[in-house]
Chains A and B, each alone.
Chain A
Amino acid sequence: MKASKLSILSLSVSLAMILSFVESQIPPLVAIPGVKMGLANIAVVFALYKMGWKYAAVISGVRVFLVGLLFGSAVSLLYSTAGAVVSFLCMVLLKKTGRFSYTAVSVAGGVMHNMGQIAMACILMSTNILKYYAPFLILSGTLAGIVIGLLSAVLVKRINVKV
């Protein structure tokens, strides 16, 4: 791996971590578990378009692991891993079709992140709370995804990195 690649990769990981931390300091807008902006996804979407899915996967994976270790618990690590994996796979597949813009890819990522988390919660607590929370989480994932998608699109166009 070239030094330039490594440094851009590490920079993106730290950016994703800072965004996660900033977000954890903002009080939740709505009192529903799982509803959030997903600011760290800006770094992931950016990497997905600028550096390819392998880099984005490393950024997403390392970010989830380190943030869970630093600011979370074992349980919160499980939730975010489930969300991140499902969301990432979905974004990569949608991007591959070439039919969707940043916004739609990030909307799918946001919605699937929420669904992955709630599915993990159902497995861990062996309770069916999916039915009650699904509409809230799909709506909030869509709205957050639109915002994150628009922000990512600006960054992809403005920041010039070649990897």
Chain B
Amino acid sequence: MERDRKKHWDLLLIGGCLLLSAILFTFSYLTSGEGAGVIVRVNGEEVERYSLYDNGTYELNGGTNTLVIENGAAWLSHADCPDSLCVKQGKIRSNGQVITCLPNKLTVTVYGSEESEVDLIS
């Protein structure tokens, strides 16, 4: 009886966590659209914006990370940190997607075509 009761609460908590992540995944899938460009932030400060339609390779943050933009997708091709997790995060192209480099406190966020103005004000 005691065991069954515990199981009930366990299922509620674990199921709740899984459900919550499923809802959040669905939400971010539904709200994502085609990206217009990327915003590069270092320490939360916006340092640069690049359009996703202009192909190019850019050195970010004084050369700690290298950003590549090609055919509407952006990715980091090089990082000076030991784990290079940001490079492994791969390509981003949809509105709201982020690449984060924690050691260099750098983020690359995709913004959508409608969102860009709102973002400028905030």
Binding site for B on A (CB under 8 A): 28, 31-33, 73, 75-76, 79, 94, 99-101, 103-104, 107-108, 111, 121, 124-127, 129, 131-136, 138-139, 141-142, 146
Contact = CB atoms under 8 A, between A and B. Distances in A.
B96 interface: yes
A136 B13 CA distance: 17
B107 A127 contact: yes
Interface string B11-37: 001100110111011001000000000
Interface stretch (B2-10, B55-63, B65-73): B2-10
A79 B107 CA distance: 16
Pick from B17, B41, B96 the residue with the most CB of A within 10 Å. B17
A33 B104 CA distance: 13
Contact of A129 (B6, B10, B14, B100): B100
Given A94-B13, A126-B45, A135-B24, 9 more contacts: A32-B85, A75-B102, A75-B103, A101-B7, A103-B10, A127-B107, A127-B109, A129-B107, A142-B14
B14 A107 contact: yes
B87 to A, nearest CB: 8
B85 A135 contact: no
Interface string B77-105: 00000010100111000001110101101
Pick from A32, A75, A101 the residue with the most CB of B within 10 Å. A101
B100 A33 contact: yes
A132 B14 contact: no
A108 B12 CA distance: 12
Given A31-B88, A125-B105, A134 B24 contact: yes
Contact of B21 (A79, A94, A138): A138
Nearest to B2: A98
B7 to A, nearest CB: 7
A101 B90 CA distance: 38
A29 B68 CA distance: 24
B19 to A, nearest CB: 10
Contacts of B10: 100-101, 103-104
Given A33-B100, A125-B43, A129-B100, A107 B28 contact: no
A101 B100 contact: no
Nearest to A103: B10
Contacts of B44: 125-127
A104 B16 CA distance: 11
